[in-house]
Amino acid sequence: MRKYLSLFLLIFTVFFSYAQTEKTVDIRQFYNSNFKKSPLIAYYYYKDVNNYFTPFIGTWIYQNGNQTFVIRFWKETKASYINENPKYYIDELRAHYKLVQNYGQSNEQVIYTSEKNVGNSVTPWPTIIAAGKALENYKMTGIVFDVAGVLNPSYPTGVRGNLEMTINPDNPDTAQWEVTLPMGMRGLGQPKTFTIPTNITLTKVNQ
């Protein structure tokens, strides 16, 4: 009887332990609708296993006269969504931008920055790019929030745009930055004009 009970407990413990496990998979599986998730896996971790994020990490600038658009990318390793539904971990390319007058000079002045709170809330933007990812080593995509314009309190996240950033294969320190307005019906008065640059060539200034 004890043997049966021990065996039962062992099987139960093994099964329960296994059911709690986390599994690391290629981030591309997050975007693969045919990816079959196992019910035994508690959390998947969608990881940048090929280090495709690496070429994007660092500070990029675009200079127009004495104004410079500066965007800084970093890799958020294993961002947690286990308190949301669906539950998972994922690597993300995150970023913040700013527009600076006389960038790098003693009289430098910030004209706008995304490093601020969302609307009138007390919650800071953790990143101004959502779902930032590179599934190849030269192109990243994501959703960028344009919060540079005058705040319309009814729309605290500003104008949402689709972002595509493509590194020039012949000169990996330059990249094309493109932001487009997603298609769709909107509310009367909803802002849909971008203040941030929408089609520029960025230059990488540090890693």
Partner 1 sequence: MLLALFSCELEEEVLQKNNYRENIKIRNSTFDALLNEQHFVNAISKLSKSKPAQSKTVMEAEYGFTILPDQVKVLEHKGKTFYTFQIKREVQNPDYFENLVIDTDSIGQTDAYLFKYLPTEPLAPSEEHDSFHFKGAVHITPITYNIAIAEKELHCVTATVMMCDQSWSGSGSTTPHVATQYCNNPNHLTEVTTTTCDMTAGGGSMGAGAGGWFGANQGSQGSDPGGGHAGAGNGSGTAPGSNTNPPVLTAPVFDLDQITKCKTISKQMAKFPGLKQSLIDLAATTSDSHENGIFIDKSATAETPDPVQTVPVGSGGTIDINLNPPSKYTMIAHTHDISGTDGTGTFSIFSSDDMATISNLIQLGKIDTGDFVFYVFTADGTRYAITINCTSCLEAFCYPCNENLAIGTVLDMPRVLQINALIDQTYNKADGIHSQSDPVNDKKKFLEFIKEANLGISLFEVDETLTAFEKLELDPKTKNVIKKPCSN
In this structure, the number of other CB atoms found within 10 A of the CB of residue 37 comes to: 12
What does the block give as tokens for 34?
A: 């045919």
Q: Is the dihedral of CA 193, 176, 31, 148 positive or negative?
A: negative
10-18, 54-62, 106-114, 156-164 -> range binding partner 1 (CB under 8 A): 156-164
User: Is the preceding peptide bond at 55 cis, omega within 30 degrees of 0?
Assistant: no
162 touches partner 1 by CB under 8 A? yes
Which of 77, 102, 154, 171 is in the footprint of partner 1 by CB under 8 A? 154
203 touches partner 1 by CB under 8 A? no
What does the block give as tokens for 198?
A: 């929408």
3-state secondary structure of 13: helix
Question: Looking at the DSSP assignment, which residues form a beta bridge with residue 64?
Answer: 67
Kindly tell me which of 12 and 31 has the beta carbon lying closer to partner 1. 31
Which of 155, 158, 175, 196 is in the footprint of partner 1 by CB under 8 A? 155
149 touches partner 1 by CB under 8 A? no
Draw the binding track, 109-148, toward partner 1 (x: CB under 8 A; -: no contact).
---------xxxxxx-xxx--xx---x-----xxx-----
The residue whose two tokens read 């930055």 is: 177
* CA proximity to 156, closest of 181, 127, 191: 191
Distance CA 48, CA 145 (A): 23
Judged by CB under 8 A, the chain residues 64 through 83 that form the site for partner 1 are: 79-81, 83
Judged by CB under 8 A, the chain residues 83 through 102 that form the site for partner 1 are: 83-86, 90, 92
What does the block give as tokens for 150?
A: 């005058």
Which of 74, 181, 195, 205 is in the footprint of partner 1 by CB under 8 A? 181
For binding to partner 1 (CB under 8 A), which residues are involved?
1, 4-5, 30-31, 33-34, 79-81, 83-86, 90, 92, 118-123, 125-127, 130-131, 135, 141-143, 153-157, 160, 162, 180-190, 192-193
